[in-house]
């Protein structure tokens, strides 16, 4: 077990708490940078996709994991980001100018959605976001001038810094840089008063309010920030898929994002990456399952939703803190060995806090 001798307040404020952290995270980034040397295009593409999913996951994590507001329609923000980006690129706006505009537009869309529905709590919010997700999908279909409707919209792949987005190594680096930047931005928000206010709203609205947190403002802000991250992911996703069709941004994608944060671990940014890796490799996992199951079941199209549901239920029931929670437990087991006690993480008896008003 590591004991840190603290002599400065800055040590609590800094992102890396000790040299061990600094070493391991630098090593991780180095490995990520060196990956194109060993991996082929297919796997680079997969990892780029995981980076994009992670960025979207950060967005949803801030909203659901940190502010405690469920969103069942988050694919809408991916759609807003993707379509805005594709539209801007089609109209000759360069990549470096389009991305900031996408972030601002998704931020504003998030705020615009957040403000009317921020009075809702818990279940009502979940239902409202679900409905908004459907409405957004419908808008993507019908607003043909902007989205191309059901015909779809090809995404231009312009040159950026003299490189092409068709080059999978270059695209991988773009995704990686955005993921690292998004991580830093999220960490910074979360260690500032705004991030603490989010956590306060999650844990006790009434106390947060009594400490001067403007509930309405901060919930809308959380929606907006979440929208901005997810919109950015949407813009990158547009490059990744290359051709936008409205049914990409359906409820299944929204639920996949939720699966991502639940499996990764609610309330941790590590969790978004773990969850993204899991969700990114889920199709392969399912393919493997198909091979092992008897062909009468293995060839059924229903297998995918079934496994999706089973995983979700399994994590909610048995590992509510997700992969990150499991990781923490394993880490603690070795740190405390042989004195680790199961009870350390035993679920506390919780009594229902009524949502009723």
Report DSSP state, residue 164. Answer: E
CB within 8 A of 140, min separation 6: which ones?
79, 83, 147, 246, 249
**Closer of 215 and 245 to another protein (Cβ):** 215
Indicate whether 108 belongs to the interface with another protein (CB under 8 A). no
**Closer of 15 and 30 to another protein (Cβ):** 15
**Minimum distance between the CB of residue 196 and another protein, rounded to whole angstroms?**
5
Phi/psi at 301 (nearest 5 deg)?
A: -70, -20
**Minimum distance between the CB of residue 264 and another protein, rounded to whole angstroms?**
13
- Residues 65-104 touching another protein, rule: CB under 8 A, are 68, 70, 72
**Closer of 74 and 202 to another protein (Cβ):** 202
**Closer of 301 and 338 to another protein (Cβ):** 301
The residue within the footprint of another protein, chosen from 199, 245, 289, 332 (CB under 8 A), is 199
**Closer of 156 and 231 to another protein (Cβ):** 231
Count CA within 13 A, CB hemisphere, residue 331.
8
Helix or strand (DSSP H, E) at 302: none
Interface with another protein: number of residues (CB under 8 A): 85
Indicate whether 11 belongs to the interface with another protein (CB under 8 A). no
Indicate whether 64 belongs to the interface with another protein (CB under 8 A). yes
**Minimum distance between the CB of residue 272 and another protein, rounded to whole angstroms?**
16
- The answer for 122, left when phi > 0, alpha when psi is -120 to 50, beta otherwise, is left
Instruction: Give the separation between CA 175 and CA 280, rounded to whole angstroms.
Output: 14
Instruction: Give the separation between CA 126 and CA 122, rounded to whole angstroms.
Output: 7
- Residues 167-196 touching another protein, rule: CB under 8 A, are 185, 188-189, 191-196
- Residues 110-149 touching another protein, rule: CB under 8 A, are 116-117, 119-120, 122-124, 126-128, 130-132, 134-135, 138, 141-142
SS3 71: coil
Number of residues that make up the chain: 357
Q: Is 121 exposed, middle or buried (0-12, 13-18, 19+ CB in 10 A)?
A: middle
Only one residue has tokens 């980001």, namely 81
**Minimum distance between the CB of residue 278 and another protein, rounded to whole angstroms?**
15
Cβ proximity of 241 and 248 under 8 Å: yes
- Residues 219-278 touching another protein, rule: CB under 8 A, are 221, 225, 255, 258, 262, 266-267
Compute the radius of gyration of the chain from its Cα atoms: 21
The residue within the footprint of another protein, chosen from 28, 177, 306, 330 (CB under 8 A), is 306
Neighbouring C-beta atoms of residue 4, cutoff 10 Å? 10
Indicate whether 203 belongs to the interface with another protein (CB under 8 A). yes
Indicate whether 21 belongs to the interface with another protein (CB under 8 A). no
Neighbouring C-beta atoms of residue 123, cutoff 10 Å? 10
The residue within the footprint of another protein, chosen from 91, 317, 337, 339 (CB under 8 A), is 317
Indicate whether 303 belongs to the interface with another protein (CB under 8 A). yes
Indicate whether 18 belongs to the interface with another protein (CB under 8 A). no
**Minimum distance between the CB of residue 251 and another protein, rounded to whole angstroms?**
8
Rounded-to-10 torsion of CA 238, 243, 249, 252: -110
């Amino acid at each position: 077990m590591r004991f840190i001798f603290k002599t400065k307040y800055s040590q609590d404020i800094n992102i890396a708490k000790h040299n061990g952290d600094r070493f391991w995270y630098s090593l991780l980034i180095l490995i990520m940078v060196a990956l194109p040397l060993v991996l082929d295009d297919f796997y680079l593409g997969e990892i780029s996709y995981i980076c994009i999913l992670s960025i979207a996951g950060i967005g949803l994590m801030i909203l659901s994991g940190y502010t405690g507001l469920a969103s069942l329609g988050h694919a809408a923000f991916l759609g807003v980001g993707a379509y805005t980006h594709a539209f801007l690129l089609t109209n000759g706006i360069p990549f470096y100018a389009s991305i900031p505009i996408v972030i601002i537009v998704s931020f504003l869309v998030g705020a615009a959605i957040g403000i009317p529905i921020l009075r809702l709590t818990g279940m009502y919010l979940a239902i409202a976001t679900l409905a908004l997700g459907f409405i957004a999908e419908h808008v993507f279909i019908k607003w043909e001038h902007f989205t191309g409707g059901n015909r779809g919209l090809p995404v231009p792949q312009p040159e950026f810094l003299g490189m092409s987005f068709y080059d999978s190594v270059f695209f991988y680096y773009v995704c990686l840089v955005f993921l690292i930047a998004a991580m830093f931005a999220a960490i910074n928000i979360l260690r500032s008063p705004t991030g603490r206010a989010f956590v306060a709203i999650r844990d006790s609205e009434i106390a947060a309010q009594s400490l001067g947190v403007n509930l309405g403002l901060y919930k809308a802000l959380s929606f907006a920030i979440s929208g901005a991250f997810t919109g950015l992911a949407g813009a990158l996703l547009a490059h990744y898929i290359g051709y936008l069709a409205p049914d990409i941004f359906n409820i299944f994608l929204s639920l996949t994002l939720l699966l991502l944060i639940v499996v990764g671990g609610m309330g941790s940014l590590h969790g978004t990456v773990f969850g993204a890796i899991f969700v990114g490799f889920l199709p392969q996992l399912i393919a493997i399952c198909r091979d092992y199951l008897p062909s009468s079941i293995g060839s059924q199209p229903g297998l995918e939703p079934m496994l999706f549901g089973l995983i979700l239920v399994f994590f909610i029931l048995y590992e509510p803190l997700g992969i990150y929670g499991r990781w923490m437990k394993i880490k603690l087991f070795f740190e405390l060995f042989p004195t680790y006690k199961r009870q350390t993480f035993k679920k506390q008896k919780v009594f229902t806090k009524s949502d009723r008003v």
